[in-house]
Amino acid sequence: MDKPLRACVIGHPIVHSRSPLIHGHWLEQYGIKGAYEKLDVAPAILADFLSEIRLGSWLGCNVTIPHKQAVMTLVDSVADEARKIGAANTLWLEDGKLKATNTDAYGFAANMDDFAPDWREAQTCLIIGAGGAARAVVHACKEAGISDVTITNRTTERADELASEFSVHSVQLIEALQNLDLYQVIINTTSAGMGDIPPLPINFKSARSGTIAADIVYAPLNTQFLLDARTHGLRTVDGLGMLLHQAVPGFEKWFGQRPVVDTSLRRLILDDLGEP
């Protein structure tokens, strides 16, 4: 019997994942008779679920909170990128082996390429935040060739630790925010400004014109960070494209077709987010 052409996203909880909408759109667009589901997988049954993939019940899966670190110890091989970032979000079977990679850095970079392609020419960037999302962004900025990457964070020790791990600079948040003119790209990777969490008190007045401000938050799409940046004449990149682009490599590995992130996909997710 043929193996099922299906992939999924696993997490715990998983209800809010938009991955089924993204992959479902591509399956329809490319006329692929496959499926993409979302599964609530509790930590206690994670290893059992990965065995199901090895047995061929699934082509692979996306992985979200809280499994992004745990899966790395349970698969057969971990791509360099995931190892450096310290988390995996995409799993697939290849030559009978269960492999893992991280596509968040790719997603971030591809979104920047779409909306501010000259970001790769920047020499300086400031990354605000030191959590899991910041790790992927630091990796992407280094890979893009930005020579002077600086991390800042509410909890300074976390910024210092991350900076030392990735061999970049760190600076206290208050100092960073007072010297925004030093940076050509300023990126928010914190959850500040998302849902009910108050936004960071950033005054972009001191930033240079031409500076790019990017947020990885996409709900709301126009975060206070981006609105303030725009008010001061900065160029801005919102977080939705990172979500869309990070899905591309998984779809290609599972279904054999490299999908395109286009305006119809963006519109679909904007509608789901209730954004005009």
Q: In whole angstroms, how close is the CB of 239 to ligand ATR at the nearest point?
A: 11
Q: Are 111 and 140 in contact, with CB atoms under 8 Å apart?
A: no
| SS3 of residue 256 by DSSP | coil
Residues in the chain: 276
User: Strand 90-94 relative to strand 169-170: parallel, antiparallel, unpaired?
Assistant: unpaired
Annotated active-site residue 68? The verdict is yes
Please name the amino acid found at residue 161: E
Q: How many CB atoms sit inside 10 A of residue 120's CB?
A: 15
Q: How far apart are CA 46 and CA 34, in angstroms?
A: 23
Q: In whole angstroms, how close is the CB of 155 to ligand ATR at the nearest point?
A: 3
Question: What are φ and ψ of residue 2, in 5° steps?
Answer: -65, 145
Q: How far apart are CA 140 and CA 120, in angstroms?
A: 10
State the residues that interact with ligand ATR by CB under 6 A.
Answer: 129-134, 153-155, 158, 189-192, 197-198, 200
Q: How far apart are CA 195 and CA 208, in angstroms?
A: 29
Peptide bond into 201 cis (omega under 30): no
Which residue's beta carbon is nearest to the bound ligand ATR? Answer: 131
CB of 190 or CB of 211, closer to ligand ATR? 190
CB of 147 or CB of 155, closer to ligand ATR? 155
Q: In whole angstroms, how close is the CB of 150 to ligand ATR at the nearest point?
A: 14
Q: In whole angstroms, how close is the CB of 218 to ligand ATR at the nearest point?
A: 12
CB of 154 or CB of 208, closer to ligand ATR? 154
CB of 161 or CB of 275, closer to ligand ATR? 161
Question: What are φ and ψ of residue 39, in 5° steps?
Answer: -125, 130
**Of 38, 68, 84, 253, which one is the catalytic site residue?**
68
Beta bridge partners, 40, equal 11
Q: In whole angstroms, how close is the CB of 72 to ligand ATR at the nearest point?
A: 15
CB of 5 or CB of 194, closer to ligand ATR? 194
Please name the amino acid found at residue 164: S
CA–centroid distance for 44 within its chain:
26
Residues labelled as active-site residues = 68
